[in-house]
Every structure is written in structure tokens, then in C-alpha cells.
Chains A and B, each alone.
Chain A
Amino acid sequence: MMSTPIIAQAKIYMSIEQAQKIFFPSQSLTKSPIIISDELQEKMRLASSIRHPFRGDRIWKTSDGNWLIIDEVIGKHEMITYAVALNSNGSILGIEILEYIESYGYEVAEVDWRKQFVGKTAKDPIKLNQDIQNIGGATLSCKHITDGVKRVTSLHDLSLKTIR
């Protein structure tokens, strides 16, 4: 029998639109999806050691040639969606966490419970412990984000920089 995961916290910090405004307040963005071939997927996996496939449909380009890329990392204990803003030359302009979902007693990557969050936006906070704001305790590691950012910068190096 499957047990129900107990979620300690699920926080939505901002929407993709809000991230766009934070990084590029005065530039217009155009959605620029790219098809991630198996070969590219494999190269990004090697560069970052992240196995979860990268989705090529959440990429935007500004009129100045900068990029905004949304990705997520799925660890054993958490799933984090984040935005990376890149300069046209591939250097990082900023990284912002969009969503942080922590699970318990379950491998996040293995189950389909993510479905319950599909379609939620920052204006529609997940109704789980949403009143809880300030959590103290032992320090959580952000190592997965570091790996994730490596994957995004490798995407620029392998593909985006050749797109005119």
C-alpha cells in the first residue's frame, strides 16, 4: 500500500512573470523554446550530473540577447524550481528560487504527487501550511541548485550561444 507523503513546506516565491520583471524590468521577452535532442540532453547530464530531463520549453530571450531559463532540481527530499538569468555571453546575471517543495518519507523523483501542484501560481498558494513563514532549524544544503545552475550554463554553452 502506498502511504501519503507528508509535506513539511511548500512555498511558492514568485511566478515566471515576476522573475522576468525582477531580472529584466525594462526589456521585452520572447519565448524561445528549443528542442532538446537526446545528444544535448546527455551532454547536459554529464556537465551537471543531473539525470532528470531538461525541458526546453521554458526559455525566454530578451531584445538585448539575454536569456531567462526556468529549470527544476528534484532531489530525494525536495523539488525546487528556479530561474536563471544569463547575459548574452553566458555569464550569470542572477538566480532566483521560484518554488520550494519539501517532502518526507518519499522519494520525490519516483512519484507522481507533483501533479497536485500543476497549474498553481504565486497568486494561488498551495494550501499546505501556507501560514508557516519562519522556519528555524539545521541548515539545509543548496547543493542541488549549484548542480542545476551548472546544467543551465552548459545549455548556453552547448546550444543557446549559437542561436541568433
Chain B
Amino acid sequence: MRRCQALLGTFVEISTDQDDSQAINEAFSAIKQVQDLMSFHDPSSELNVINQTVHLEPVAIHSWTAKVLKIAQEIYEQSNGLFNCGIGHRLVAAGLLPCHMDLSIYQMSGIEDIRFIDPQIIISSKPLCLDLGGIAKGFAVDKAVESLISCGIESACVNAGGDLRVFGPIPRSIQIRNPSRPTELINIGSLQNGAIATSSLYFSKRDQLQSHIIDPFAQDESEVHLHFSDSYSIVAKECVYADALTKVLALSQATDHPCFNYFSAQAIKITT
């Protein structure tokens, strides 16, 4: 059974060998819950509450949001700041995200200023504009996989618009879009009990959108958006790490960045 729903701003596909509609419904619900918590587009999401109030008062957050923020901070540290979710205002300025608050009055800080005063209560000393678009999709894929496993599904693939995770006894063959001609596919081998995520700009270029890969260290406005034509994929055990680490690969251009080894991940660069 293979089903597809529009979630997380993309198409989420769940394929299983068992015909269990209820299990797939629950997996989609888990993804929907991640969307409801962490969407930048939805003004009432928990993420937008954090962005609007975390510098003013402590914010109580869902355990899933707490987990994503913890992982985001861990990857921030291991990548020496290359992966930073505190770039929402850059994407708003580029017209890639909607504007829910007056960003002009603040000097925005980054994920490093989030402090946990309790496992599920955070505060920040400075204003920030977090966007979890570079990590939440992978986390949602993991949550869907957990949900399927708890429903007794033995083998499945969850693919959120190109970031995917497979589990079960059967290895599944994986194709990656060719960055030079995205409708052509490159067979990169098979994957068993693992995840792969990819960052590339061919759809952004096709749709004449500004690059959504942001250099957190950019000093000059003209250097904020990273431009490249290659495709950067990360294979990891969990999709949350695969998703986030593609940004480290795109920004560092180093397939041997020490942070990949730290997270037991492997980098794949497909050049044009």
C-alpha cells in the first residue's frame, strides 16, 4: 500500500507491504502534529509562540519541539555554528517565509541563545526568529516511522518530499534526482534501516525563488543566500540528522566534515 498526502509544505509518501490503512493514518497524524507544532507558516504554531515571546518570558513547549531544539543545538555545536535554525528572519526578508512579527526592530540572535530551564521550558536572553524548516521534516519522518513500528508494521518507507527513511528486513533501492536534470534519477544503491536527505536548489531555481540555504556567518547581505548547483545528500540512521546535516555539507562543501563522523553519517555530493 502506498499513500501520499500534502504535509509539511511538500508531498509525504508512505509505502508499506502490509495493507494497514489505520497504521498509515496514524503515521500521517504524527507528521501533521509536527507540522502543527513547528510550522513557520501557521501563525498559531508553537514555533511562532516561541519566536514571539521566548525573549520576554519562559515558554513551555511540547516534548517533540524540545527534542528538535536539543538536536538543533547539538548539531550547531558539532558543526561550529554552520547549522543554525535562527535564520528565519533571513528567509522572511527573501520572501520565502511569511512575516508574523516586526523583525526590523531587533538584532536577531541564534539557536545558541536558547536556554533550557527545565526539559520542556525554554527562555532566550535575546530575540530570535527560529525556522525549523531545515530539520523538522526529518524529525517528522522519524516520528512517522516510530508510529508505524508501534502499530506493528514490519517494513516501510516514509518519504517527505525527497527526505526519506526506510525500515524493516528488506533493503530498498534509492534514487536521487540528478541536479543537472532533476527528472532524471540516479540509482545510488539500496538502503536498509536508515535515512537519506538531500539539499539542492534545482526546484528553487526552476520556480525562480531565492536560495533557502542561508550562511549564518554572512556579514554582507549579498552573501546571505548560498548559491550552488550540486546536490548534497546525507545518509544517517535517523532522518532528523540526515535532514539537518545536508545544510552542513552544503555550507562547508566538505564531505569529510568531522561532524558527519560524530553523528555516524555519510555525505554524498553529486556534482553537475
A residues whose Cβ falls under 8 Å from a Cβ of B: 6-9, 11, 13-14, 21-22, 77, 82, 95-97, 100, 102-104, 129, 132-143, 145-146
Give the contacting residue for B3; candidates A7, A14, A102, A140; CB below 8 A: A14
Taking CB atoms and an 8 Å cut-off, the chain B residues in 2-54 that contact chain A are 2-7, 9-11, 13, 15, 21, 25
Q: Which residue of B lies closest to A103 (CB)?
A: B183
Q: Which residue of A lies closest to B15 (CB)?
A: A133
Give the contacting residue for A95; candidates B5, B163, B177, B196; CB below 8 A: B5
With both chains docked as a complex, state the minimum distance between the C-beta of B118 and any C-beta of chain A, in angstroms. Answer: 34
Indicate whether A139 sits within 8 Å of B163 (C-beta atoms), given known contacts A6-B183, A96-B5. yes
With both chains docked as a complex, state the minimum distance between the C-beta of B146 and any C-beta of chain A, in angstroms. Answer: 19
Indicate whether A137 sits within 8 Å of B198 (C-beta atoms), given known contacts A95-B6, A97-B6, A142-B11. yes
Q: Which residue of B lies closest to A137 (CB)?
A: B177
Q: Does B132 contact A (CB under 8 A)?
A: no
With both chains docked as a complex, state the minimum distance between the C-beta of B225 and any C-beta of chain A, in angstroms. Answer: 15
With both chains docked as a complex, state the minimum distance between the C-beta of B39 and any C-beta of chain A, in angstroms. Answer: 12
Establish whether residues B196 and A141, one from each chain, have CB atoms under 8 Å apart when the complex forms. no
Establish whether residues B159 and A135, one from each chain, have CB atoms under 8 Å apart when the complex forms. yes
Interface of chain B: mostly helix, strand, loop or mixed: strand
Complex-state Cα separation, A145 to B161, whole angstroms:
14
Identify the interface centre among A77, A142, A143: most chain B CB within 10 Å of its CB.
Answer: A142
Between A and B, 30 residue pairs with Cβ closer than 8 Å are A8-B182, A8-B183, A11-B2, A11-B4, A13-B13, A97-B3, A97-B6, A100-B11, A104-B181, A132-B175, A133-B15, A134-B159, A134-B172, A134-B173, A135-B162, A136-B176, A137-B176, A137-B182, A137-B231, A138-B177, A138-B199, A138-B201, A139-B10, A140-B203, A141-B9, A141-B207, A142-B9, A142-B10, A142-B11, A143-B9
Please give the number of chain B residues whose Cβ is less than 8 angstroms from any Cβ of chain A in the complex: 48
Complex-state Cα separation, A138 to B160, whole angstroms:
10
Contacts of A77 in B (CB 8 A): 206
Q: Which residue of B lies closest to A146 (CB)?
A: B6
Taking CB atoms and an 8 Å cut-off, the chain B residues in 79-119 that contact chain A are none
Contacts of A138 in B (CB 8 A): 162, 177, 182, 198-204, 231
Give the top 5 A-B pairs by smallest Cβ distance, nearest first.
A8-B183, A137-B177, A97-B4, A142-B6, A139-B161
Identify the interface centre among B4, B21, B164, B196: most chain A CB within 10 Å of its CB.
Answer: B4
Establish whether residues B11 and A97, one from each chain, have CB atoms under 8 Å apart when the complex forms. yes
